[in-house]
Amino acid sequence: MKVGICEFRNIIVLTSAFYPWPKRSILKDPIVSESATPPPRMGEERVKEEALQLIGMFQLLPRLVVFDLDYTLWPFYCQRRSKRETPSLYPHAKGILYALKDKRINLAIASRSPTADTANTFLDKLSIKSMFVTKEIFFSCKNKTDHFRRIQSRTGIPFNSMLFFDDEDWNIEAASKMGVTSIYVDNGVNLRALRRGLTQFTENQNASDKNQRK
Ligand SMILES: [Mg+2]
């Protein structure tokens, strides 16, 4: 049977809808794993204030912070949701985004979601779509190296000036190899993850300065 382009597309869409991809990690890295206890519920303003204080403690800051979407900014796979639904973010996500913006740090998205239209609709409904300088939302069988190459070429920001949050080990590993400070989150992005990210970013910068002086 001959399969035309349209049929082929339908097969891909159907496969994406039912195949549980990307899978959430079941085994957590014991070193970087966070407590399963959900972060305390705070208002967005309070989170933003705390995030601003936290960011203010660091001298070396990333020029760009990149976020995954599913299970990093929001607690679901958007490919399994309808565009008509009303999405919600992890409790600390919005306050952190606003604080980073206030500090003039660029924001971007790197997502392997096969349903970019749903993701964009949700970003719009959450009133955060315009906060990102670039949104790389496309399915890839590989990790996110292509996403980061695009982000780098669109922004001109070097990989070592980026900080990245994601809930998938292999994405963390691949982005780290490119020179991006990459932080694994197992309970969505929150203030603790932000602190870890900024600390790790500073350590990586110091280590690279030290290597350059050798
Ligand atoms: Mg994810």
Digit-coded pLDDT (tens) for 136-145: 999 998 889 9
Between the CA of 168 and the centroid of ligand 1 the distance, in Å, is: 6
Q: Give yes or no: 68 in active site.
A: yes
Between the CA of 186 and the centroid of ligand 1 the distance, in Å, is: 10
Tell me, what amino acid is at 90? Y
Between the CA of 67 and the centroid of ligand 1 the distance, in Å, is: 9
Q: Which residues contact 110 (CB under 8 A, 6 or more apart)?
A: 66, 67, 68, 136, 144, 147, 148, 151, 164, 166, 171
Active-site residue identified among 29, 68, 146, 186? 68
Q: Give yes or no: 70 in active site.
A: yes
Residues in the chain where the model's pLDDT stays below 50: 1-40
Q: pLDDT value at position 41?
A: 56
Alpha carbons 110 and 157: distance in angstroms, whole number: 15
- List the chain domain ranges: 44-213
Between the CA of 77 and the centroid of ligand 1 the distance, in Å, is: 8
Fold held by 44-213: Rossmann fold (3.40.50)
Active-site residue identified among 70, 102, 117, 186? 70
Q: pLDDT value at position 14?
A: 41
Between the CA of 210 and the centroid of ligand 1 the distance, in Å, is: 33
Q: Is the pTM of this model over 0.85?
A: no
Q: pLDDT value at position 142?
A: 81
Residue pLDDT, tens place only, 13-38: 444 444 344 444 433 333 333 444 44
